[in-house]
Chains A and B, each alone.
Chain A
Amino acid sequence: MLTLTNVLRTFGGVKAVDDATFTVEKGEVHGLIGPNGAGKTTLLNLISGLMPPTSGSIALEGKRVDRLPPQKIAALGISRTYQNIRLFAGLSAVDNVVVGQHLRRQSPFLPRLLLLPKARLEEQAARKAAFDGLARVGLRERALTPASSLSYGEQRRVEIARALAAGPKLLLLDEPTAGMNPPEAAEVARLVREVAREGRSVLLVEHNVRLVMELCDRITVLNFGKVIARGTPAEIGKDPAVIAAYLGDGA
C-alpha cells in the first residue's frame, strides 16, 4: 500500500529523517515508534504532503506521491490526524466531520441555486453520515458542541472521525491516545482494529508502547531520523537496538 524508499529530509544541516525505508501493507496496522524527536511526525508530514522530502520517494499503491500537494495526496486516499490536534475550533464536532467528507461529497451548485430537493437531500445525507461517524467514535451526543469546548480526548476522537469521513485507504494517526485514560485509549485501539478489518491501512505514531505492541501487526522504530528496526512486535521487543534506544521505560 505505502512504500517509503530512502526518504531523506533535512532542515538546515539537521537530518530529521535519514534514509527511511519501509512499507505498510493493505489492511495492516503499522506502528511507528521512537523516542521524542526521532522524526515520526516529520515522516507523517512528508507522507501527507505538508513538505517534500529532500530526496527519496514515497509511493501509494505504486504511484509516486512525494512531490504532490497535500490536497492531491488526500484525494488519492490518505487521511491524517495531528499530534497537536487541528480541529476547526470554531465549528461544532459534527461540522468538523462534515468537512472531512469533502472528497466524497457532490457539489451540485445549480440544483442548490434552484432550490431543488436534490441539494437538500445531499446535505442531509452528508450530515447524517457525519453523525454516524461521530457515533462510531462514541461522541454522537456531543455532535453540536463547538470543537473548542470538547475535552482533549474527545477532540482526538473527533479528529479520527473526521479523518475517517473521507473513506481513506491509508489513515495516519499521530499520537491519537495522548492524554487519554486507559478505557478511552482501549476504545481507540478497538476502533483502529475495526478500521483495519475494513481493508484500510493504518500508520500509527504512538508513545504508548504497550498499546502499539498489542495493536500493531508490524512496527518500524525510528531513532534520530533513522530506521533502527522493523518487524513484528515480538521481534521488536527482543531487538537490542530498540531496547537500547528506549524500550527500557514505560514498556
Chain B
Amino acid sequence: MEDFYLAYQSLIAFVGINALLALSVYATLSCGQLSLANAGFMAIGAYTGALITLHAPQVPFGLVLFISAILPSIIAVPLGLPVLRLRGVFLAIATIGFGEVVRLAFVNWDFTNGALGLVAIPQRTQPWILWLMVAVVIFVLARLRGSRTGYALEAIREDETAARTMGIETTRYKMAMLALGAAIAGLAGALEAHFTFIVSPAGYGFGRVVDMLVQAVVGGTAMLFGPVLGAAFLTLLPEILREIGARIGLAPGPFRLFLNGVILLVVILYLPEGIISLPQRLRRRKKAA
C-alpha cells in the first residue's frame, strides 16, 4: 500500500511540475508568441536552485525558489530584445536555438559537472510546496484577465499592428510575458531538481520544450485550467498506456510511443482548441442536432 502511494505520489508531483511548465508556455502563447525557450529557462532555474542548495544549504528553500525564478526572467530580457521582433516561426526557431545554447553551455561547463550534471540534491520539494506554487501561478495569471494588461495581451495575440494603433506598447508586454514564462519555467526547474535529486543537461533539450508546448496546446489555451489539464493528461497517459500494454503483453516502448503520437494527432486535428473545449463542442453538437 505504501509502495502504491509512493509510486503515485511521484507521478502526481510530475503532473504538478509539468503543469507549471505548460503554464509557462501559455504565458507567451497568450500574447500570440510561440517561444520555445522555456527548457533553457528551466535548466537555468534548476541548476541555480541545485547549486545554491548544494553549496549553501542554509539558504531557506523559499529563497532558493525565488532566486531560481528571478534569474531566468532577468536573462529573458536580453534574449527578448532582439528576438521578439521576429515573426511567428522565426521567433520559435530563435528560441529553440537559445534553449540548445543553454543546454550545451551546461554540458560544457565544469562547474556544473558537464554532461553528468549534479546529483544528490536533497529532496526539499514537498507536494504541498509544489501545489502551492501551481496555485500561486494560476492565481497570478488569472488576475491578469479582465485587467488592462489582460486585454492588451489578447489584442496583441489577435492583431498586433491594430493593437499598437490603440496605444498598446506591444514589445513591452511581449517582453513581460517572456520574462514571466521564464520565471515560471525556472521555478519548475528548481522544484523538479529538488524532487528528483538530479539535474542533468539531457533533461532540458528540445524534446522537453516540445513536451511543454504539446501539453499546453492539447489541454487548451483558452482557459487557464487547460494547460494544467493537458499536463495531467499527457503525464498520466504514458503510465496508463504502459499498464494497458503490459496487460495485453505488448512491448511497452513502441506501443506507448505509437499511441502517444496517434492521440496527439487526433487531438490536434479534431480538438484544436484542446481538451477543455470538449464540453463546449459537445454542447454545440447537441444544439445543432
Direct A–B touching, Cβ under 8 Å:
yes
7 contacts between A and B (CB under 8 A): A50-B161, A73-B165, A74-B166, A95-B151, A99-B155, A99-B166, A109-B149
Minimum Cβ distance to chain B for residue A166 (Å): 6
Give how many A residues have a beta carbon under 8 Å from the other chain's beta carbons: 35
Q: A109-B149, A112-B147, A123-B147 in contact; A102/B158 too (CB < 8 A)?
A: no
Which residue on B lies nearest to A76, using beta carbons? B167
Taken residue by residue from 71 to 110, chain A's Cβ proximity to chain B (1 for < 8 Å, 0 otherwise) reads as 1011100011010001011110001001110110111010
Partner of B167, one of A90, A119, A166: A166
Q: Which of A99-158 contact B (CB under 8 A)?
A: 99-100, 102-103, 105-107, 109, 112-113, 115, 119, 123, 126
CB distance from A159 to the nearest CB of B (A): 9
In which size bucket is the chain B interface?
A: 20 to 34
Q: How far is the CA of A107 from the CA of B168 in the complex (A)?
A: 12
| Complex interface: chain B residues within 8 A of A80 (CB) | 165
From B147, B157, B159, B164, give the contact of A70 (CB < 8 A): B164
> Does A48 reach chain B (CB closer than 8 Å)?
yes
- Tell me the minimal C-beta distance from B177 to chain A in angstroms: 14
Rounded to whole angstroms, the CA-CA distance of A162 and B158 in the bound complex is 15
Taking the closest CB of chain A, its distance from the CB of B162, in whole angstroms, is: 4
Find chain A residues with CB under 8 A from B162 CB: 82, 86, 88
Given contacts A103-B167, A166-B167, contact A91 B147 (CB under 8 A): no
> Cβ of A86: which chain B residues have Cβ within 8 Å of it?
159, 161-162
- A109 near B147 with CB under 8 A, answer yes
Q: Say if the beta carbon of A31 comes within 8 Å of chain B.
A: no
Asked if residues A75 and B167 are in contact (CB atoms below 8 Å), the reply is yes
Query: For residue A82, which residues in chain B have a CB less than 8 angstroms away from its CB?
Result: 162
Residues of A within 8 A of B (CB): 48-50, 69-71, 73-75, 79-80, 82, 86, 88-91, 95, 98-100, 102-103, 105-107, 109, 112-113, 115, 119, 123, 126, 162, 166
Is the pair A71, B169 in contact by a Cβ cutoff of 8 Å? Answer: yes
Q: A74 near B151 (CB under 8 angstroms)? A: no
CB contacts under 8 Å to A, within B103-162, are: 140, 143, 146-149, 151-152, 154-155, 157-159, 161-162
Contact A74 B154 (CB under 8 A): no
Q: Is residue B38 within 8 Å, beta carbon to beta carbon, of the partner chain?
A: no
Contact A102 B152 (CB under 8 A): yes
Q: What total of A-B pairs shows CB separation below 8 Å? A: 80
Residues of A with C-beta under 8 A to B235: none
A71 to B173, CA, bound (A): 13
Nearest Cβ on chain A to B15's Cβ, whole angstroms: 26
Q: What residue of chain B has the Cβ atom nearest to residue A48's Cβ?
A: B165
Q: Are B151 and A98 in contact (CB under 8 A)?
A: yes
Across the A-B interface, the 5 shortest Cβ-Cβ residue pairs: A74-B167, A88-B158, A103-B167, A70-B164, A86-B162
B140 touches A102 (CB 8 A): no
Main secondary structure of the interface of B (DSSP, over half): helix
Chain A residue, CB-CB nearest to B157? A90
Give the residue among A88, A98, A105 with the most B Cβ atoms within 10 A: A88
Most A Cβ at <10 Å: residue of B143, B149, B166, B168 = B166
Nearest-neighbor residue (CB-CB) of A86 within chain B: B162
Residues of chain B lying within 8 A (CB to CB) of residue A74:
164-167
Inter-chain contacts of B149 with A (CB < 8 A): 107, 109
Contact (Cβ within 8 A) B167 A69 = no
Contact across chains for A99 and B147 when beta carbons are under 8 A apart? no
Contact B165 A99 (CB under 8 A): no
Q: Are B147 and A107 closer than 8 Å at their CB atoms?
A: yes
Q: A49 — which chain B residues lie within 8 A by C-beta?
A: 164-165
Chain A positions within 8 Å of B140 at CB level: 113
Q: A91 with B166: in contact, given A50-B161, A107-B149 (CB under 8 Å)? A: no
CB distance from B258 to the nearest CB of A (A): 35
B35 within 8 A of A: no
B48 at the interface (CB under 8 A from A): no
Chain B residues near A112: list those with CB within 8 A.
143, 147
A contact residues around B167 at 8 Å (CB): 71, 74-75, 102-103, 166
Q: Is the Cβ of B166 less than 8 Å from the Cβ of A166?
A: yes
Instruction: Give Cα distance in the complex from A89 to B140, angstroms.
Output: 26
Q: How far is the CB of A162 from chain B (nearest CB, A)?
A: 8
Q: How far is the CA of A112 from the CA of B151 in the complex (A)?
A: 14
Is residue B68 within 8 Å, beta carbon to beta carbon, of the partner chain? Answer: no
B77 interface hit (Cβ, 8 Å): no
Is B163's beta carbon under 8 Å from chain A? yes
Q: Is residue B170 contacting chain A, with contact meaning CB distance below 8 A?
A: yes
